[in-house]
C-alpha cells in the first residue's frame, strides 16, 4: 500500500511539472527550465518519502509536509515563468487541481478493484488524458491569458483553484482518506466533474471577453486609419485644385516674365519664381515613409500636433514591406505620439515639441520618443511604465505597447530626467 501511494504521488508530481512546463511561458532556456522542473520533482518525491515512509502515522508531519510541497510546487511555477505574477500562480494552482484528479482516480480504482497495477494504470491514463485534452482544447486560451496585459483581477481568479483544491483535500486526503471514508467517493467524482466543467466554461467566457476587447482596439485603430485617409484625400484634392490654378496662371506668369526680361527686371523675375516654388511646396502632400498605413497614422498625428501648435520633429525610416504587423505597429505609434502630444499641449511655447525617431528595417525596430513633461511622473514598479493619473481605464495605450514589444521579444526603457520624458522600444529581428 505504501509503495502504491509512493508511485501514485510520483506520477502526480511528474504530470504537474508537465502541466506547468506546457502552459507557462518560460523565463529560461528549455534545458534550464527542464532542469529546474526535474530538481523540484525530486524534492517533492523526497518529501513524500518522509511523510509516507518515515512518519506514516503522524498527522502533523503529513500536514506540514503537504504545506511545504504546495509551496515548493507553486514556487517552481512562478520561478520558471516569464511573468512572475498572479497569472503564473493561477496556472500553477490550476495544475495542482488537475493532477489531484488523477490521484483521486487511482484511489477509487484501488478501493473497488484492490489491484495495484490497474489503479496505477488508471492513474497514468487519467493524468495523460486530462493533460492532452486541456492542452489541445484550452491551451491557447491559457497562453492568451498569460500574454494579456489589460485583464485585472487575477488574484481573485486564484481563489477558484484554491477552494477546489481545499475541497478535494478535505474530501479525499486529510484528515481522512477515501480508504477510510469511501462514502466520499461519489461526492469527489461530482466535484471533479464540476471543476472540469467550471474551468472550461469560465475560461471560454473570459476568452470571449478578451476577443471583444481586441476587436474594440482594432476598431479604434481602423477608425484612426480611416480618419487619416480622409485627411490625406482632402489634402490631395486641395493640392490638385491649387496646382490647377497654378497651371492656369502659368501663361500669365510667362507673359509677365517675358516682359520683365525685356525690361531687365531680374529681381522681379526671381520674386515670381520664388512665389511659384512656394505654391508648389505648400501643395506637396506630406509623405513620411513608404508604408501606406504607417504614413497615414503619422499624417493624422501630425495634424493633431499642429492643432495644438506643437513642433513634431520626426525621423522616419519605414519601408513599404515591414517584418511586423503593420496595423499593430501603427497603433503603437499612434498611442505613443498621442501620449506625447497630450503631455506637452498645455505647456509654454518652449516646451511644445515632440521628437520621434522611428526606424523599421529587416534587422531591427527602433522607436525613440522624447518630450517635455510639466508634472512629475510615477512609474509602476512591476511594468516599469508610467502610471496614469486619469483613472483605471486610462494607461491602456502604454500597456498595449508593452504587449506588442513582448510579442516580438523586444525591450522597452522609459525614464524622466530634467523634466524630459523619453521612451525607447527596440527589437532585434
The residue range of the domain holding 378 is 286-429
* Domains contained in the chain, number: 2
**Tens of pLDDT, residue by residue, the chain (429 residues):** 557 778 888 888 999 999 899 888 888 888 999 999 999 999 999 998 888 888 887 878 888 898 899 899 999 999 998 878 788 888 888 888 888 887 788 778 888 888 888 888 888 888 888 888 878 777 776 666 665 555 555 677 788 888 888 888 788 777 777 777 788 888 888 888 888 777 777 777 776 766 676 676 666 666 666 665 666 666 566 666 665 666 666 666 677 777 777 777 777 777 777 766 766 555 555 677 888 788 888 888 888 888 898 998 999 999 989 899 887 888 888 888 988 898 888 888 777 889 999 999 989 999 999 998 877 777 765 566 776 555 444 455 677 788 788 888 888 888 888 788 899 999 988
Q: What is the crossing angle of helices 59-80 and 2-23, to 10°?
A: 20
pLDDT at 182: 81
Q: What are phi and psi of 368, to 5 degrees?
A: -130, 110
Strand partners for 146: none
Q: Does some domain include residue 248?
A: no
Residues 299 and 205 in one domain: no
d(CA 203, CA 129): 19
Secondary structure of 217-275 as H, E, C letters: HHHHHHHHHHHHHHHHHHHHHHHHHHHHHHHHHHHHHHHHHHHHHHHCCHHHHHHHHHH
3 state DSSP class of 98:
helix
pLDDT at 44: 93
Q: Does some domain include residue 198?
A: yes
pLDDT at 360: 92
pLDDT at 393: 41
pLDDT at 147: 59
Q: Does some domain include residue 13?
A: yes
DSSP state of 53: I
Q: 215: number of CA atoms within 13 Å, CB side? A: 6
Q: 6: number of CA atoms within 13 Å, CB side? A: 13
- Which distant-in-sequence residues (6+ apart) come within 8 Å of 240 by Cβ? none
Residues 48 and 197 in one domain: yes
Strand partners for 81: 26
Where among 168, 191, 213 does a domain terminate?
A: 213
Place of cell 519664381: 273
Residues 60 and 154 in one domain: yes
CATH assignment at residue 406: 3.30.565.10
Q: Does some domain include residue 291?
A: yes
Task: For residue 312, give the nearest of 324, 327, 331, 297 by alpha carbon.
Answer: 297
pLDDT at 357: 93
Amino acid at each position: 500500500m505504501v509503495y502504491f501511494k509512493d508511485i501514485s504521488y510520483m506520477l502526480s508530481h511528474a504530470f504537474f511539472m508537465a502541466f506547468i512546463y506546457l502552459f507557462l511561458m518560460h523565463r529560461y532556456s528549455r534545458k534550464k527550465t527542464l532542469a529546474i522542473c526535474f530538481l523540484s520533482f525530486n524534492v517533492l518525491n523526497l518529501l513524500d518519502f518522509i511523510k509516507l515512509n518515515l512518519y506514516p502515522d503522524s498527522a502533523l508531519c503529513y500536514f506540514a509536509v503537504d504545506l511545504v510541497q504546495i509551496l515548493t510546487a507553486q514556487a517552481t511555477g512562478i520561478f520558471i515563468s516569464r511573468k512572475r505574477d498572479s497569472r503564473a500562480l493561477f496556472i500553477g494552482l490550476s495544475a495542482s487541481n488537475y493532477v489531484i484528479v488523477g490521484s483521486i482516480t487511482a484511489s477509487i480504482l484501488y478501493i473497488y478493484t484492490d489491484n495495484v497495477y490497474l489503479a496505477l494504470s488508471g492513474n497514468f491514463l487519467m493524468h495523460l488524458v486530462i493533460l492532452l485534452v486541456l492542452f489541445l482544447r484550452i491551451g491557447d486560451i491559457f497562453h492568451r491569458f498569460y500574454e494579456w496585459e489589460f485583464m485585472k483581477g487575477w488574484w481573485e481568479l486564484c481563489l477558484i483553484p484554491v477552494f477546489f483544491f481545499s475541497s478535494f483535500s478535505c474530501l479525499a486526503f486529510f484528515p481522512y482518506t477515501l480508504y477510510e471514508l469511501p462514502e466520499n467517493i461519489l461526492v469527489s467524482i461530482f466535484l471533479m466533474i464540476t471543476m472540469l466543467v467550471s474551468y472550461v466554461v469560465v475560461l471560454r467566457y473570459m476568452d470571449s471577453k478578451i476577443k471583444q476587447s481586441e476587436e474594440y482596439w482594432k476598431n479604434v485603430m481602423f477608425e484612426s486609419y480611416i480618419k487619416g485617409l480622409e485627411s490625406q484625400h482632402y489634402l490631395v484634392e486641395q493640392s490638385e485644385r491649387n496646382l490647377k490654378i497654378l497651371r492656369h496662371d502659368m501663361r500669365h506668369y510667362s507673359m509677365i516674365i517675358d516682359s520683365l526680361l525685356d525690361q531687365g527686371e531680374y529681381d522681379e523675375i526671381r520674386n515670381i519664381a520664388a512665389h511659384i516654388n512656394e505654391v508648389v511646396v505648400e501643395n506637396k502632400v506630406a509623405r513620411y515613409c513608404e508604408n501606406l498605413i504607417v504614413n497615414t497614422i503619422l499624417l493624422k498625428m501630425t495634424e493633431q500636433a499642429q492643432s495644438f501648435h506643437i513642433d513634431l520633429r520626426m525621423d522616419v525610416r519605414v519601408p513599404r514591406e515591414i517584418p511586423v504587423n503593420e496595423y499593430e505597429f501603427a497603433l503603437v505609434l499612434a498611442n505613443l505620439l498621442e501620449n506625447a502630444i497630450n503631455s506637452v499641449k498645455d505647456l509654454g511655447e518652449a516646451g511644445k515639441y515632440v521628437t520621434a525617431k522611428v526606424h523599421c528595417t529587416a534587422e531591427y525596430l527602433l522607436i525613440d520618443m522624447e518630450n517635455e513633461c510639466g508634472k512629475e511622473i510615477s512609474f509602476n514598479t512591476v511594468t516599469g511604465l508610467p502610471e496614469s493619473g486619469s483613472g483605471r481605464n486610462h494607461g491602456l495605450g502604454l500597456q498595449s505597447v508593452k504587449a506588442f514589444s513582448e510579442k516580438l521579444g523586444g525591450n522597452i526603457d522609459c525614464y524622466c530626467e530634467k523634466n524630459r520624458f523619453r521612451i525607447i522600444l527596440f527589437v532585434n529581428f
